[in-house]
Chain A
Amino acid sequence: MSPAEAAAPSPSPALLAVEGVTKRFAGVTALSDVSLEVRPGEILGLLGENGAGKSTLLKILSGVMPPSSGRIVFDGVEFNPHNPQDAKRLGIVTIYQELSLIPTLTVAENIFIGRAPLGPLGLVSWRKMEEDSGAIIARVGLNIDPATPVSALSVAEQQLVEIARALSLKSRLIIMDEPTSALTETEVQKLMSIMGRLRKDGVAIMFVTHRLEEASAICDRMTVLRDGRLAGHLDRDGGPIKLPKIIEKMVGRAASELYARPTLRDVAGDVRLSVRGLRTVRDPQAPHAIVLEGVDLDLKAGEILGVAGLVGSGRTELARAIFGADRIAAGTITLDGKPIAPETPADAIALGIGLVPEDRKHQAIFATLGILTNFSIAALGRYSNTAGFMAERREREALASYRKTLSIRMASPEQPIEGLSGGNQQKVILARWLARDPKVLIVDEPTRGVDVGAKAEVHQILVQLAARGIAIMMISSELPEVLAVSDRIVTMRRGRITGEMPGIEATEEKLMELMALDQTQEATQ
């Protein structure tokens, strides 16, 4: 399908109009005066970096939470959804990254969940349900038996089932949140052609993504958000919207004033951690999971190595493999010249490696436990005597000193950590590792869910730690962050390193190119 034959952006009346929407959370403004329009039969791209406010806007549109101020008009009527059902009833369906299908039920059952067709006796008519769902999934080009359990489908197929369900609900606006992040290239192409078909049928689509090539290939118009504000609208003008124009809108300022860029150094330290030919095992239970396909990497003492890559590039898998959290299939890791083979995180920690994981809530914090235990849990041996009793005074003194140096804002050491803000939680997790004096510290998305002010503090802490000689590997999908603190940067894609450059030479444009390399070039044609 050629982009030219896409529905011309005729000035038809908007199906959805967002007018000056603002959303504030306790002191933080997540969205500020954002306006946009989606018209029937068009695909609007909603773009922005992580933290730009995309997900907040989606939550408002799908009825998960109300805006603090501003107006939303749907089909000419003011729209104030109180819950996701309200939005659905009007024909607005949001398909999230995390799919909402029930894996143990069949495709047909999932499509007709809560509204199964009934037979004459008031019993479920299985035949009708399967026939109808067969027709519905055919519309999205899915050619499978509707009686297949969803768990047997690939992520891409599940996504199509979700879209099919949305269509069967007579949806007029389908919002897709990062639908391509877990898909292979052919699957992405298939999804795009289905989006094109829906557009012809007059469905309005809002496509939320940070994959610029995909957005450029399919979107009729784009709305770009930056730091919770509207950065601008872009229109297709004869051909696809060009990448440099999008990047300029997304990045805005030359670099980012938010990130006080410290002097990036060409660190001449000794190689501390060295990885050669690292491969991970493909789990037959999860055939679509990302595996490392042979990674080579050196990390020097006292440097911050930025690892940039999109979701699914293998960056987290790299961290977990080094940390002994995932099984390694082949390759070698050496620490200070000695080969190591950590089989569990405990092994890696004993060798002097620390990991601040990406998903703080599920992998790092003990939500209901006090800050003290959250802090000392990786260094219990240091804060206890040989008989196994906690040396609580020493433990409290250590926490008090980190509280000061990292400026952790908390009520008391006993306060459950879930009561802290994301930034303060992250500082406690950093303190957890500092208590062990690690040689290598891997931080995965260190400022995810951390507000702007605390972000700069976290960056400052990382820089100070590197200055103390710790080798730091920082994984991040926020390019301004990577650029701000990395002495050296590598990019990853599909389980491989695709490029390397000194932090001083790197720009967002260069990194994006390396990260997205050939991502959807074919799909554009």
Chain B
Amino acid sequence: MTSTTEPSQRGGINVARLLMSFGPLMFLALLIVVFTVLKPSFIDPINIFNIMRQISITGLIALGMTFVILTAGIDLSVGSLLAFCGMVAAVVAKGGTANTLSLSTSGTQGYGWFAALLAAVVVGAMAGGVQGFAITRLKVPPFVVTLGGLTVFRGLTLTISNGGPISGFDASMRWFGTGLIGPVPVPAIIFAAAAILCHIVLRYTRYGRAVYAVGGNAEAARLSGLRVDRILISVYVIVGFFAGLAAFVLSARLNSSEAVAGIGYELTVISAVVIGGTSLFGGIGSVGGTVVGAALIGVLQNGLQFNNVSSYTQSIVIGLILILAVAFDRWLKSRVRR
């Protein structure tokens, strides 16, 4: 494969472009340095792996959201969809909605982790497809469709779970949330693998080109022969798939699927994508940026926690720093343009 030809590293303007794509990364490095100075144990591998585990859930969804935002769309339903898919996974894993916190690994009459995973991602992808259909065929703006989805999926979750959690999965399923491969948490490995896959798809495939083109100029894309509607539907399928995958990992980690899981995740996810440099107007952005954006939020949350900042103050600081990070990025880009 053509991994040697990274496009942004040839010719004259590239120092500038490099700097531009590293804006968020520089900010991330700065934060890590500051937190380490404040409390050296911040940089301990245990804490770093902890951060990686923390960001992997919203990070997975952010990967899918990158596709959506690249097409100038948005998906506000991901938090609710995560809860819904988690509940579906739990029902499948346990073979019913019974809320038994069983510690035995043998006695369940469920269908096992694989069926649970499959159910979560298929339901997620289908839910995304339905929303994509409404956006393209019924011509309802993505903001509205997914705002509706946010309520609908939460309602469906509460309906099937009757409001409560479904807990107690077998060890093979829990491994996906709590296991380690060497010193590395399994969720972090899943996130890393998914990020690499998404990067390859966006950067090296025909489909990736089409996603950028549709976001860059939908009318020009149509007049160039792209089936714009299909591509738009596909990105909502992708983000739904990742919401399902994230739901599975989260349920496995918590050993429980909560009806109230994922509330507010859409904002964290969108923040990660935007901090990573993906334009809300579409056509500009990258998976690498999203990974950095997710890491930046994770480091910030963890670092503040680490320094015993109260959770009230935390949300104030995080909000302000998010704005600052994007402002810094803009400033860098405006310097580069000249």
Measured CA separation A373–B213 after assembly (Å): 8
Residues of chain B within 8 A of A368, CB atoms compared = 216, 279, 283-284
Query: Are B12 and A377 interface neighbours, CB within 8 A?
Result: no
CB of B315 closer than 8 Å to a CB of A: no
8 A Cβ contacts from A349-386 to B: 349-350, 355, 357, 362-370, 372-373, 376-378, 380-381, 384
Interface residue B104 (Cβ < 8 Å from any Cβ of A): no
CB distance from A394 to the nearest CB of B (A): 11
B11 touches A432 (CB 8 A): no
How close is B5's CB to chain A, nearest CB, in angstroms? Answer: 6
B residues 287-331 near A (Cβ < 8 Å) are none
Q: How would residues 1 to 43 of chain B score, 1 for a CB under 8 Å from any chain A CB and 0 otherwise? A: 1100101101111000000000000000000000000000000
- Interface status of B224 (Cβ within 8 A of chain A): yes
B5 cross-chain contacts in A, Cβ below 8 A? 392
Task: Specify which chain B residues have a CB less than 8 angstroms from the CB of A384 in the assembled complex.
Answer: 205-206
Q: Is A364 touching B223 in the complex (CB atoms < 8 A)?
A: yes
Q: A414 to B8, Cβ gap below 8 A?
A: yes
Known: A369-B216, A373-B212, A376-B209. A363 touches B223 (CB 8 A): yes
CB distance from B289 to the nearest CB of A (A): 15
Contact call B11/A412, Cβ cutoff below 8 A: yes
Q: Are B225 and A346 in contact, with the CB atoms below 8 A?
A: yes
Q: Contact partner of B227 among A346, A365, A412, CB < 8 A?
A: A346
Give Cα A325 to B8, complex, Å. Answer: 35
Say yes or no: A367 contacts B216, CB within 8 Å. Answer: yes
Given the complex, which residues of B lie within 8 Å of A363, measured CB to CB? 217, 219-220, 223
**Chain B residues whose CB sits within 8 angstroms of the CB of A453 once the complex forms:** none
Instruction: Write out the residue numbers on chain B whose beta carbons fall within 8 Å of the beta carbon of A369.
Output: 212-213, 216, 283
Tell whether, in the assembled complex, residue A414 and residue B7 are in contact, meaning their CB atoms are under 8 Å apart. yes
Contacting residues, chain A, for B219 (C-beta < 8 A): 362-363
Interface of A is mostly: mixed
B206 touching A345, Cβ below 8 Å? no
Contact of A378 with B225 at beta-carbon distance under 8 Å, contacts A362-B220, A373-B213, A414-B10 already known? yes
Q: State in angstroms the CA–CA spacing of A367 and B216 once bound together.
A: 7
Contact between chains at A345 and B210 (CB < 8 Å): no
Report, as a range, how many residues of chain B touch the other chain.
20 to 34
Beta-carbon contact of B217 and A365 below 8 Å: yes
Q: Is A390 on the interface with B (CB-CB < 8 A)?
A: yes
Question: Interface code A483-517, partner B: CB below 8 Å = 1, 0 otherwise?
Answer: 00000000000000000000000000000000000
CB distance from B227 to the nearest CB of A (A): 6
- Given contacts A350-B225, A392-B2, whether A366 and B216 have CB atoms under 8 Å apart is yes
Cβ contact within 8 Å between A349 and B225:
yes
Task: Note all chain B residues with C-beta closer than 8 A to A345.
Answer: 222-225
Please tell me the size bucket of the interface on A. 35 or more
Q: How far is the CA of A412 from the CA of B9 in the complex (A)?
A: 10
Known contacts A366-B283, A368-B283; A377/B226 CB under 8 A = yes
Tell me, in angstroms, the Cα distance from A74 to B279 when the chains sit together: 45
CB-CB under 8 A from B111, the residues of chain A are: none
Decide yes or no whether B221 CB sits under 8 A from chain A.
yes
Instruction: Give, as a whole number of angstroms, the nearest-CB distance from A395 to chain B.
Output: 10
Q: B143 in the interface, Cβ–Cβ < 8 Å?
A: no
Q: Is A27 interfacial (CB-CB < 8 Å)?
A: no
**A115 at interface (Cβ–Cβ under 8 A)?**
no
CA distance A236 to B107 in the complex (A): 102
Is B204 at the interface (CB under 8 A from chain A)? Answer: yes
- Inter-chain contacts of B12 with A (CB < 8 A): 411-412
| B114 at the binding interface (Cβ < 8 Å) | no
Instruction: Give me 8 other A-B pairs in contact (C-beta within 8 A), A388-B207, A415-B13 excluded.
Output: A325-B222, A350-B225, A365-B220, A377-B224, A380-B206, A380-B210, A389-B206, A411-B11
27 contacts between A and B (CB under 8 A): A325-B222, A344-B227, A345-B224, A346-B225, A346-B227, A349-B224, A357-B223, A362-B217, A363-B217, A363-B223, A368-B283, A373-B213, A376-B209, A377-B210, A377-B224, A381-B206, A384-B205, A384-B206, A388-B205, A388-B207, A389-B204, A412-B13, A413-B7, A414-B7, A414-B8, A414-B11, A415-B11
Could you tell me which B residues sit within 8 Å of A by CB distance? 1-2, 5, 7-8, 10-13, 204-210, 212-213, 216-217, 219-227, 279, 283-284
Residue ranges of A at the interface with B (Cβ–Cβ < 8 Å):
323, 325, 344-346, 349-350, 355, 357, 362-370, 372-373, 376-378, 380-381, 384, 388-390, 392-393, 411-415, 432
